[in-house]
């Protein structure tokens, strides 16, 4: 399978001159158009822009087609990435024979996806090209059955990092190369013939549209690919005497007389935590079964920057925070010391009240939901200090006003002054789970709802937290506290089961 460089004229792309693009915001609700000059804040920072301008996280976005790759100065690197992907597909025997498409069979389409992988310093480390199937055309019950595939959640990962710090354990990261291609398909799936595959002699006279290639292995983009890969990895690890359970199905533990190793799986990223000898053994037998990339000590995983110090482990997202601030033109904003303004006891003066009849609603061109998504990722991973403010503003995603957008800018300014804030898990600390729960009675007076908040710490550092509006109407502060305590107890039961399983399976006290 050889990649042939296409002619530039074969797939012309629609060009858009971004410099000539008219920059204006249309508030469709009332018909008023706001120009760029009208929506600058007091610091001269551009408040919000059209979606076309703000949708890209950098001034140099990744290409979307091969034609775009051809026009770039780094085409040779993309070409090598494409060739490496085709060689990997051939090595894994993903493609079966090319045949005439059977009757009543709808072959799935395909496309190329290009991305530049970056490290914890936001530096490009490699160019990656991926041929993916367009699984949206698959039919349930015919092309696939079950699709669910478990992944490690952030709470488990934070607990494992706190465990590594408190017990002086090692942390290593490995990546499975083209992991999904190891999965075996349980259904017959045909795909349109991609570029690079040669037609058989007996089919060259037929139109390419009536032919397809049968997939022998799972391919990225298929609905069941994640599940097939997890089944393949789980089967192998269990055969090597690892154990897991339904509480944390993506945490595999193996204990020996000299120590233990914990493999925490997030799709194709394997975080190994344990004693040095057992980790080395795990790295060896993983390389024997799969093509692996040994990334050494865990420094960057799932968007988290992980720094190892003599007295503990520091987890933060400073680079991600800088990218978010730059993306929304807030990287030069004036820093603030709190994530939100003080709320007024007067309901009619509350800056976080719902949209009123005489207020203009921001149109879809304003990236309100995109900003909420960027803040949610921070709040869920390493910044519990913005959890309440982000949750509060997320309630108005369907009809945000300028008041709500100012609330988002307030959080951005707070992040500007606390970019390097994160979670520090100290070494030799007591691995004791401690929880706190509280409630804010009538925190949302407009809907008569209260707020639930809880946090669980290990060694004095948070591993699990939540701040959300209660679904029931509490008739008293005592009732609101009871609801919050109930939610915290549910989380505590799961945390206790998870930590007990890991400690018992690894032989720790």
As given in the structure block, the two tokens for residue 136 are 């949206």
List of residues 6+ apart from 39 with CB closer than 8 A:
25, 46, 47, 48
Predicted confidence at residue 226, as pLDDT, reads 95
Predicted confidence at residue 40, as pLDDT, reads 43
pLDDT exceeds cutoff 70 at 9: no
Do residues 185 and 222 share a domain? yes
Of 446, 448, 251, nearest in space to 351 by CA: 446
Give the tens place of pLDDT for each residue, 305-362. 999 999 999 999 999 999 999 999 999 999 999 999 988 878 888 888 888 888 888 8
Please check whether residue 105 lies inside any domain of the structure: yes
Predicted confidence at residue 6, as pLDDT, reads 52
pLDDT exceeds cutoff 80 at 138: yes
Predicted confidence at residue 47, as pLDDT, reads 41
Do residues 239 and 369 share a domain? no
Of 179, 302, 160, nearest in space to 231 by CA: 179
Strands (E), 156-250: 170-176, 190-191, 211-215
Please check whether residue 436 lies inside any domain of the structure: yes
Do residues 174 and 256 share a domain? yes
Do residues 119 and 237 share a domain? yes
The answer to whether 495 and 433 are in contact (CB under 8 A) is yes
Among the residue ranges 2-16, 47-61, 209-223, 227-241, the one predicted with the least confidence is: 2-16
Q: How confident is the model at residue 502 (pLDDT cuts 50, 70, 90)?
A: very high
Looking at 422, 449, 471, the residue that finishes a domain is 422
Would strands 170-176 and 292-297 be described as parallel, antiparallel, or unpaired? antiparallel
Do residues 271 and 324 share a domain? no
Q: How many helices (H) and strands (E) does the chain have?
A: 11, 19
The answer to whether 175 and 269 are in contact (CB under 8 A) is yes
Would strands 292-297 and 32-35 be described as parallel, antiparallel, or unpaired? unpaired
Residue whose entry in the numeric block shows the structure tokens 């018909």: 31
Q: If you ran DSSP here, which 8-state letter would residue 110 be given? A: E
Do residues 331 and 265 share a domain? no
Please check whether residue 31 lies inside any domain of the structure: no
Name which residue leads in pLDDT, 260 or 67.
Answer: 260
Do residues 96 and 170 share a domain? yes
Predicted confidence at residue 120, as pLDDT, reads 72
Alpha carbon distance 501, 155 (integer Å)? 15
Alpha carbon distance 168, 328 (integer Å)? 40
As given in the structure block, the two tokens for residue 85 are 């992907």
Please check whether residue 198 lies inside any domain of the structure: yes
Please check whether residue 23 lies inside any domain of the structure: no
> Quick one: angle between helices 402-416 and 318-327, nearest 10?
140
Alpha carbon distance 471, 94 (integer Å)? 48
Please check whether residue 142 lies inside any domain of the structure: yes
Of 38, 166, 7, nearest in space to 509 by CA: 166
Looking at 422, 444, 466, the residue that finishes a domain is 422
pLDDT exceeds cutoff 80 at 204: no
List of residues 6+ apart from 240 with CB closer than 8 A:
254, 285
Do residues 410 and 489 share a domain? no
The answer to whether 66 and 332 are in contact (CB under 8 A) is no
Looking at 280, 302, 324, the residue that finishes a domain is 302
Predicted confidence at residue 51, as pLDDT, reads 41
Give the tens place of pLDDT for each residue, 371-390. 999 999 999 999 999 999 99
Alpha-carbon separation of residue 346 from 250, 439, 465 (angstroms): 49, 20, 29
Residue whose entry in the numeric block shows the structure tokens 């290409």: 63
Please check whether residue 204 lies inside any domain of the structure: yes
Helix (H) or strand (E) segment spanning residue 406: helix 402-416
The answer to whether 408 and 368 are in contact (CB under 8 A) is yes
Predicted confidence at residue 29, as pLDDT, reads 37
At residue 364's C-alpha, the angle toward residues 363 and 370, to 5°, is 125
Of 423, 422, 424, 472, nearest in space to 452 by CA: 472
Predicted confidence at residue 505, as pLDDT, reads 92
The answer to whether 191 and 99 are in contact (CB under 8 A) is no
Dihedral (CA of 133, 139, 142, 144) sign: positive
Q: Please report which residue ranges of 99-153 form alpha helices under DSSP H.
A: none
Alpha-carbon separation of residue 125 from 75, 115, 116, 278, 327 (angstroms): 16, 11, 7, 29, 22
The answer to whether 292 and 174 are in contact (CB under 8 A) is yes
Alpha carbon distance 289, 293 (integer Å)? 13
Do residues 295 and 166 share a domain? yes
Mean pLDDT over the full length of the chain: 86
Do residues 211 and 131 share a domain? yes
Residue whose entry in the numeric block shows the structure tokens 């369907």: 398
Alpha carbon distance 368, 345 (integer Å)? 26
pLDDT exceeds cutoff 70 at 58: no
- Ranges 21-25, 63-67, 85-89, 130-134, most confident: 130-134
Instruction: State the residue range of the domain holding 319.
Output: 315-422
Q: DSSP labels for 86-116?
A: HHHHHHTT-EEEEEEPPTT---BEEEEEEEE
Number of domains, the chain: 3
SS3 of 8-45: the string is CCCCCCCCCCHHHCCCEEEECCCCEEEECHHHECCCCC
Q: DSSP labels for 369-436?
A: HHHHHHHHHHHHHT-GGGHHHHHHHHTTTTS--HHHHHHHHHHHHHHHT-TT-EEEEETT----EEEE
As given in the structure block, the two tokens for residue 64 are 């979307």
Do residues 362 and 467 share a domain? no
Do residues 366 and 469 share a domain? no
At residue 50's C-alpha, the angle toward residues 48 and 51, to 5°, is 110
Predicted confidence at residue 195, as pLDDT, reads 73
Please check whether residue 61 lies inside any domain of the structure: no
């Amino acid at each position: 399978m050889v990649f042939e460089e296409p002619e530039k004229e074969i797939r012309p792309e629609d060009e858009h001159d971004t410099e000539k693009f008219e920059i204006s915001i249309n508030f469709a609700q009332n018909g008023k158009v706001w120009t760029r000059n009208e929506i600058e804040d007091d610091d001269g920072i551009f408040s919000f822009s059209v979606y076309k301008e703000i949708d890209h996280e950098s001034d140099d976005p990744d290409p979307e087609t091969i034609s775009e790759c051809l026009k770039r100065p780094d085409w040779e690197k993309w070409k090598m990435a494409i060739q490496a992907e085709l060689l990997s597909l051939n090595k894994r025997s993903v493609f079966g024979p090319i045949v005439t498409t059977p009757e009543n069979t709808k072959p799935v389409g395909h496309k190329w996806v290009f991305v530049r992988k970056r490290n914890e310093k936001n530096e490009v480390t490699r160019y990656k090209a991926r041929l993916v199937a367009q699984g949206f055309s698959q039919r349930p019950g015919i092309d696939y059955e079950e699709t669910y595939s478990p992944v490690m959640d952030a709470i488990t990962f934070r607990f494992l990092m706190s465990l590594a710090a408190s017990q002086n354990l090692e942390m290593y990261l490995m990546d499975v190369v083209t992991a999904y291609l190891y999965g075996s398909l349980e259904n017959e799936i045909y795909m349109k013939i991609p570029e690079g595959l040669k037609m058989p002699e007996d089919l060259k006279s037929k139109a390419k549209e009536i032919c397809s290639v049968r997939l022998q292995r799972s391919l990225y983009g298929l609905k069941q690919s994640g599940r097939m890969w997890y089944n393949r990895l789980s089967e192998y690890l269990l055969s090597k005497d690892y154990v897991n359970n339904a509480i944390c199905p993506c945490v595999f533990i193996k204990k020996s007389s000299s120590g233990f190793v914990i493999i925490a799986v997030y799709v194709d990223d394997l975080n190994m935590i344990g004693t040095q000898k057992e980790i080395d053994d795990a790295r060896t037998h993983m390389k024997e079964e799969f093509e692996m990339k040994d990334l050494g000590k865990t420094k960057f995983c799932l968007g988290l920057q992980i720094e190892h110090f003599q007295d503990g482990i520091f987890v933060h997202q400073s680079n991600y925070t800088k990218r978010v601030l730059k993306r929304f033109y807030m990287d030069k904003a004036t820093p603030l010391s709190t994530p939100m303004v003080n709320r007024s006891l007067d309901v009619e003066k509350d800056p976080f009240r719902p949209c009123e009849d005489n207020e203009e609603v921001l149109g879809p061109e304003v990236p309100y939901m995109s900003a909420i998504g960027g803040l949610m990722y921070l709040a869920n991973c390493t910044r519990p200090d913005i959890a309440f403010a982000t949750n509060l503003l997320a309630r108005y995603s369907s009809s945000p006003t300028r008041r709500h957008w100012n609330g988002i800018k307030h959080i951005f300014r707070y992040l500007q002054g606390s970019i390097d804030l994160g979670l520090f898990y100290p070494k030799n600390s007591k691995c004791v789970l401690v929880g706190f729960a509280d409630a804010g009675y009538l925190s949302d007076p407009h809907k008569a709802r209260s707020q639930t908040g809880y946090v669980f710490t290990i060694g004095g550092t948070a591993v699990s937290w939540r701040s959300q509006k209660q679904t029931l109407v509490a008739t008293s502060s005592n009732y609101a506290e009871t609801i919050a305590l109930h939610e915290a107890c549910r989380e505590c039961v799961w945390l206790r089961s998870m930590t007990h399983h890991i400690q018992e399976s690894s032989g720790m006290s």
